[in-house]
Structure 1
């Protein structure tokens, strides 16, 4: 029996935009449950709604309708201030373009989000060093982003994303700017941290998505099966 609890629950979630007199559905009446820990890949072509879904899950965007519960918190009801606190404490983000601060070292980049959370300096430096060493970046602690390869920058970004020990890590096309070998390493790192927390990855790379515990396909804002046919199933991370 699977004893995992649900970390994320979406019920009837839609995100619409107006274009002229037309209503465009980026996400359409979507039901989704994701359990605690494990790695989930959201796969779909450009414009399918996968990034919009990721932004909704991370409380970076509000749905037009429906309910979102993350870690027992009804995200819909949060004020803007509480949303900021929720993102800072519950969610870690990994971006395709790394988003590292260029004038900070790898160590300082990882430590920065902990400073915003009020973590004492000695603790955040020790945790940053430990994370970078865990991701095979011990010799790069004092290197700035321009002195790192793309794969190394993304590993720094992942270390930064988990620095505050969030329960949820969201990665938006994390290998999009990397060669295939570096991309494989990044997925292996994400796979490793998914043993401790829930990792959701948006990607169009089916081969890398197969490393996830569960793959969700999305097209035109709706869940579909691998062949593109609509599905009414509620996907669960295994």
Structure 2
């Protein structure tokens, strides 16, 4: 199989679909965030799944942006960078959760609690360095980046507009997190996951249709050339 722009773009679409579905699945199976849980197999599995989801999302997000880089303009670029930065930080934070926090659970349980509270909105009582800044950047990147990128894709009119709109609305819906119990706020991630899956499928389908059109036009071009000769 030859590596072409179409092939890579379709692969990015598949990555976006996988990331969106994993994003929803993770919300359903994520264990409770506390010191007792970080040493469990379920915690490690979910954390590794989150890292995989984030990598796939960055690949899919890049494909979505590059396919519409001209149409989305500056708004698309800003949204892409902010939303992507959120999941870059997610990879870093999740790496710590799966490889650093478990050994510290017995030695420094208060630090583990404070680390988790930084990203869950709980009370931080100790010194966690610049983690609050990272948490704020991640939250702004998710909310504002998802909103701007969704609006830019909606205005571009290339991929599924319902999915672009759902991405924008779903990202802004995270403002409701402080009003909901932590056990329920994960439900707010469902629209974003569905939007990413929809956009990824739309990108894959659009590229598949384009490749079929290109292939079918080749025989016609040869016949035309033969007729001229």
Query: Considering the TM-score relative to the shorter chain, is it more than 0.5?
Result: no
With structure 2 as the length reference, what TM-score do the two structures score? 0.27
Q: Rg larger in 1 or in 2?
A: 2
- More helix by proportion, 1 or 2? 2
Between Structure 1 and Structure 2, the one with more strand by share is 1
For normalisation by structure 1, the TM-score amounts to: 0.26
